[in-house]
Amino acid sequence: MSEHPLLRGLNPDQSRAVQQLEGPLLILAGAGSGKTRVLTRRIAYLLDARPDVAAWNVLAVTFTNKAAAEMKERLHQLIGESSKKLWLGTFHSICLRILRQDIEPLGFTRDFAIWDDDDQLRVLKEILKDRSIGANPKEHTPQNLRGAIDRAKNERRAPELLRLPPSDPTPKVYKAYEQRLRAANALDFNDIIGRVIELWEQSPEILVKWQRRFQYIMVDEYQDTNPAQFQWLRLLVGDGVDAYGNPRPQNLAVVGDDDQSIYSFRGADIRNILDFEKVFPDASVVKLEQNYRSTGTILKAASGVVRLNRDRKEKTLWTSEPGGEPLRLIQGTDEQDEAGKVVGEIRRQLRHYRPADFAIIFRTNSYSRPFEQALTAAQIPYALVGGRRFYERREVRDVMSYIKLVLNPADDMAFQRIVNVPTRGIGEKTLDGLKEEAARLGVPFREAAKQMGMGKGKIANAFAALDLLLQRLDIAARSMPPSALVLYVAKETGYQEELENENSEEARGRLENLEELARSAEDLSHQEPVEALRDFVDRASLSGQSDELPDAEGGSVTLLTAHLAKGLEFPVVFVAGLVKGLFPHSRAEGDREKEEERRLFYVALTRARERLSISWPARRRFPEGGWGDTEISQFVREIPADAFSEQDRLWLPRSPSSRPPPPPAWSAPSWLSRKTAEPAPARSSPPAWLAGRSSPPPSVPRLSTAPAVHTSAADVLEEEDDARGDLRTMVPDSPESFRVGMRVLHPLLGIGTISKKEGTLQNLKLVITFPKHGPRTIYAIAAKLEIVL
């Protein structure tokens, strides 16, 4: 049999997923089922089987930069140099590349800055200083407002369309925030996706350009995409017809596992994967259910838990190697004891394993401390992942801010960070004066500082010196590679000298971090300096915690949160802190949130290849001080008892030996969207043995006529489905419900009238005439349209 070499070693399902190249494809890939392998092979196979498709016609989206780097590496091995031509990265990195090229029609320059969460908060704080906005300091905290704005952006809603009570300051703040971004030529994190959508919506010719370019699109971790990302994909994939009315294939392959959807707090919508087949009715579906990672026992434990979720696609993971070591349950008297016992167990197993074979996984970052202490005491090397990110360290951010200011002199956030670092006698009052001057002149802070530096006096001298310094950096940036510039900035600003004089352990560490920052830019040295600098800053802006995961060769035990553990695997895993209130976390109250916690636990369990232990403390210290008895997590009880060793089973409180079969999965009543006019459908009551353990807060049915009491801006957004204000709208069940002549509400463009209807179902396009924007063609499926009653 002459099998294609790229199909070798694949199981039949994997092989099918690789060979199915045309049209929409949903690959439901269970934990450890070899999805990365399928994805890389699929790309290689595509390029081999279809000579007319060039590498640069292929787009692959991953969840983290690290995953992208690994995939690039594997592809390089498979197809060589041409792998460098294809675009492979996170949604954010890909959109950023697009914007650096094409953003100008939106009124930003290509050197726009990117503001991170911290910058967002600073701006919001400043906006809130304006009392006329009417914000209630308790309710409208910068954090709450940031959350509200982020959510609005993830769902692509303009400030006017939040439909809050007229007194609510959120839209005002949102608007002011948008103005600040624009004035500073800056984008926030969500804008990186959102502005591309905006660009494509307003400039069809630019959209078509990218559509022609990316003929084959693949998305990994599809279960963690948010509505904006979905809309982005929808635009790029198109509606099956090209500009000339010829058929155009929708070559979109998504890979995901609904059981591993754990980022809803960041706007991810599990409906994107659950409803894929509704959005693309002609989609092929491949399930990868054979697990190559874990023992049968580990799989049994993990599957037994996640089966209890209602909102999922049924699947059965299996392995050709049943059996394996039973799960161990480790009970500590308190966290220290728990950590001590876990580390004791690691020490015993070190006879058979290396330190890098172990992982300790917990729910919250703060839970790592006792384990760090115990590992230190036992002299076992460990690597803590998470904590402060490299690019978030103060010294790194300070130096980066100088560099950002060179690229974008209008970046007021960067300016504020460095204006008095190192201290140069410009304090709060002086800065206030500068801000006033900047507002008066209508110029960025840096320009205002330059103006003020022309005067006389102490303050003017300080500003003049700063201006001179920045000018020197401008010049240096044009001739030096980024790595040299980092060191130059540290030296010229006096930052380095200050740290050297301090002569403390901490200062030494900071100097080392700056050296590492310089080293991290060395790979960019062959580029033109300013281009390289841009890439350097972008990389810093988009790098996340998972990009700092230690390499497997490192000889240390890995400590990380369950979120960061996604996508990784270890021979021996300890999942720690399995206590009510911690895992599931006490803030996860509703059914949805509980299910997400359960998925998170499932992710943690399925990281283990050979041995898996669960640990919990019988007492624990609470952050507020004081000790309290704990209760073992419901999740531990949900693990089928026979997955545990005989002796550990005794520890588990009695639970019914037979478990009720999961109730049939319900499907959302609304087509596509989670945003339905109805409250969530009543579910059949949960299994009694589950309900008996912890009484969930009674879910209060929401009456659309009753005014809801709002305690925070976030709540208001959550409940925006309720009819409120003057506007009454409804979400149609099917796109067919739209009729010519109907008035509809578009989240971004406002109210318009349908003047034309083309295509059917998921390809339905509406021409809607908006009073402000004129006629626009809208994909009914991509925009969240509501009918105005």
Of the candidates 472, 470, 483, 485, the residue with the CA atom closest to the CA atom of residue 424 = 470
Pairing of strands 252-256, 765-770: unpaired
Tokens representing residue 52 in the block: 């007319």
CB 306 → DNA: shortest distance, Å? Answer: 17
**Binding residues for DNA restricted to 201-220, rule: CB under 7 A:** none
CB 593 → DNA: shortest distance, Å? Answer: 7
Three-state DSSP state, 85: helix
**Interface with DNA (CB under 7 A), residue from 296, 386, 686, 747:** 386
Cα–Cα distance measured from residue 260 to residue 150, given in angstroms and rounded to the nearest whole number: 23
373 binds DNA (CB under 7 A): no
Cα–Cα distance measured from residue 171 to residue 720, given in angstroms and rounded to the nearest whole number: 13
453 binds DNA (CB under 7 A): no
Which among 251-259, 275-283, 360-368, 741-749 is the span making contact with DNA, rule CB under 7 A?
A: 360-368
Cα–Cα distance measured from residue 325 to residue 343, given in angstroms and rounded to the nearest whole number: 19
Nearer Cβ to DNA (10/588): 588
CB 578 within 8 A of CB 299: no
CB 551 → DNA: shortest distance, Å? Answer: 16
Cα–Cα distance measured from residue 731 to residue 680, given in angstroms and rounded to the nearest whole number: 14
Q: Active site includes 260? A: yes
CB 743 within 8 A of CB 192: no
Tokens representing residue 780 in the block: 């009914």
Of the candidates 501, 305, 314, 473, the residue with the CA atom closest to the CA atom of residue 401 = 473
Nearer Cβ to DNA (496/763): 496
What angle do helix axes 428-441 and 458-479 make, rounded to 10 degrees? Answer: 70
CB 212 → DNA: shortest distance, Å? Answer: 27
Which among 34-42, 364-372, 512-520, 551-559 is the span making contact with DNA, rule CB under 7 A?
A: 364-372
594 binds DNA (CB under 7 A): no
Q: Active site includes 436? A: no
Q: Active site includes 215? A: no
Three-state DSSP state, 553: coil
CB 303 → DNA: shortest distance, Å? Answer: 22
- Which residue is it, tokens 């384990």? 371
CB 536 within 8 A of CB 403: yes
**Interface with DNA (CB under 7 A), residue from 585, 592, 675, 702:** 585
**Interface with DNA (CB under 7 A), residue from 82, 143, 729, 737:** 143
Element (H, E) at 532: helix 529-542
Which among 287-295, 509-517, 618-626, 760-768 is the span making contact with DNA, rule CB under 7 A?
A: 618-626
Site string for DNA, 534-573 (x = CB under 7 A): --------x-xxxx-------------x-xx---------
501 binds DNA (CB under 7 A): no
CB 606 → DNA: shortest distance, Å? Answer: 17
Binding-site size for DNA (CB under 7 A) equals 47
CA dihedral angle for residue 427, residue 433, residue 438, residue 441, rounded to 10 degrees: -160
Give DSSP secondary structure letters for 759-777.
Answer: S-GGG-EEEEEETTTEEEE
Cα–Cα distance measured from residue 177 to residue 172, given in angstroms and rounded to the nearest whole number: 8
**Interface with DNA (CB under 7 A), residue from 14, 15, 64, 231:** 64
Three-state DSSP state, 155: coil
425 binds DNA (CB under 7 A): yes
625 binds DNA (CB under 7 A): yes
What angle do helix axes 458-479 and 394-407 make, rounded to 10 degrees? Answer: 80
CB 122 → DNA: shortest distance, Å? Answer: 9
Nearer Cβ to DNA (112/391): 391
503 binds DNA (CB under 7 A): no
Which among 39-47, 207-215, 381-389, 684-692 is the span making contact with DNA, rule CB under 7 A?
A: 381-389
Runs of H (alpha helix) within 50-169: 65-79, 91-102, 117-128, 142-154
Tokens representing residue 704 in the block: 């659309």
Residue of 191, 220, 275, 395 marked catalytic: 220
**Interface with DNA (CB under 7 A), residue from 105, 281, 427, 660:** 427
Q: Active site includes 596? A: no
Nearer Cβ to DNA (90/613): 90
644 binds DNA (CB under 7 A): no
Three-state DSSP state, 743: strand
Q: Active site includes 120? A: no
Residue 485 φ/ψ, nearest 5 degrees: -65, -40
456 binds DNA (CB under 7 A): no
**Interface with DNA (CB under 7 A), residue from 456, 587, 654, 772:** 587
Residue of 13, 14, 16, 35 marked catalytic: 35
461 binds DNA (CB under 7 A): no
Nearer Cβ to DNA (483/633): 633
CB 15 → DNA: shortest distance, Å? Answer: 30
Cα–Cα distance measured from residue 134 to residue 168, given in angstroms and rounded to the nearest whole number: 8
Residue of 36, 331, 336, 753 marked catalytic: 36
Residue of 146, 287, 607, 757 marked catalytic: 607
**Interface with DNA (CB under 7 A), residue from 623, 664, 701, 741:** 623
Beta strands in 582-689 (DSSP E): 608-617, 619-621, 627-629
Residue 785 class from Cβ within 10 Å (0-12 exposed, 13-18 middle, 19+ buried)?
Answer: buried
Cα–Cα distance measured from residue 559 to residue 259, given in angstroms and rounded to the nearest whole number: 23
40 binds DNA (CB under 7 A): no
654 binds DNA (CB under 7 A): no
494 binds DNA (CB under 7 A): no
728 binds DNA (CB under 7 A): no
Site string for DNA, 160-199 (x = CB under 7 A): -----------------------------x----------
Residue 374 φ/ψ, nearest 5 degrees: -65, -40
Residue of 260, 297, 606, 762 marked catalytic: 260
Of the candidates 329, 331, 343, the residue with the CA atom closest to the CA atom of residue 372 = 343
Residue 753 class from Cβ within 10 Å (0-12 exposed, 13-18 middle, 19+ buried)?
Answer: middle
249 binds DNA (CB under 7 A): no
125 binds DNA (CB under 7 A): yes
Element (H, E) at 279: helix 276-279
**Interface with DNA (CB under 7 A), residue from 15, 57, 65, 633:** 65
Tokens representing residue 150 in the block: 């982020």
36 binds DNA (CB under 7 A): no
352 binds DNA (CB under 7 A): no
604 binds DNA (CB under 7 A): no
Of the candidates 305, 355, 260, the residue with the CA atom closest to the CA atom of residue 559 = 355
Nearer Cβ to DNA (189/570): 189
Nearer Cβ to DNA (125/519): 125
- Under 8 Å CB-to-CB from 45, ≥6 apart: which residues? 4, 6, 7, 18, 19, 21
**Binding residues for DNA restricted to 256-295, rule: CB under 7 A:** 262-263, 265-266
Q: Active site includes 398? A: no
CB 193 → DNA: shortest distance, Å? Answer: 8
Cα–Cα distance measured from residue 335 to residue 101, given in angstroms and rounded to the nearest whole number: 52
Residue 696 φ/ψ, nearest 5 degrees: -70, 150
Cα-trace Rg, the chain: 28
**Interface with DNA (CB under 7 A), residue from 35, 42, 92, 163:** 92
Cα–Cα distance measured from residue 200 to residue 270, given in angstroms and rounded to the nearest whole number: 25
Catalytic annotation, residues? 35-36, 220-221, 260, 607
The contact set with DNA (CB under 7 A) reads 63-65, 90, 92, 117, 125, 143, 189, 262-263, 265-266, 363-366, 369, 386, 388-389, 420, 423-430, 459, 542, 544-547, 561, 563-564, 585, 587-588, 593, 600, 623-625
